[in-house]
Structure 1
Amino acid sequence: MFKNLDAEMSRYDIQPKDLAECIGVSERTMRSYLTGTSRIAWEDARKIKRKFFPQFEIEYLFYFVRDEAS
């Protein structure tokens, strides 16, 4: 899970569908990326960062935290 990305999405009222449209995938696929079920391509992560979060470092946004319950 990308907890920092999730927090910034909430802060700036950005929805998974917005990110999905940015990189040309379905909302379902984007949700798989956000939960860590599927891996997001580095170039797609860069597109999201450039469009929605240019003020943040990509390493901050896409720092992955494995769910402790897993």
Structure 2
Amino acid sequence: MLNNLEEIRKKKNVTLVDMADLLNVRYQTIADKINGTSSFKFSEALKIQESFFPEYELKFLFTPDSSTQPA
């Protein structure tokens, strides 16, 4: 799970729908990517970071929580 992205997203009141609209994908697609079911493409991550969270580093936002990574 992308805990940093999720925490910052909620703090800044950016909805999953906002992110989905930016990338022209379904709301569920964004939820799946944040939960780790699938992955963001680099271009998607960059677009999200530049549009909503320019004050944060890409690596900080999109590094998965170590407890959710496979062993």
TM-score (norm 2): 0.89
Query: Percent same amino acid at aligned positions?
Result: 28
The AA in structure 1 aligned to 2:21 is E
- After superposition, the CA RMSD in angstroms is 1.2
Amino acid at match of 1:34: I
> For residues 61 and 68 of structure 2, what CA distance do their matches in structure 1 show?
17
Q: 1:67 aligns to what?
A: 68
Query: 2-side partners of 1:36 and 1:67: how far apart?
Result: 8
Question: Where does structure 1 lack aligned partners over 5 or more consecutive residues?
Answer: none
Segments of structure 2 that go 5 or more residues without pairing to the other structure are: none
Residue 37 of structure 1: aligned partner: 37
In 1, the alpha carbon distance for the partners of 2:27 and 2:13 equals 16
Distance of 1:39 and 1:54 partners within structure 2: 20
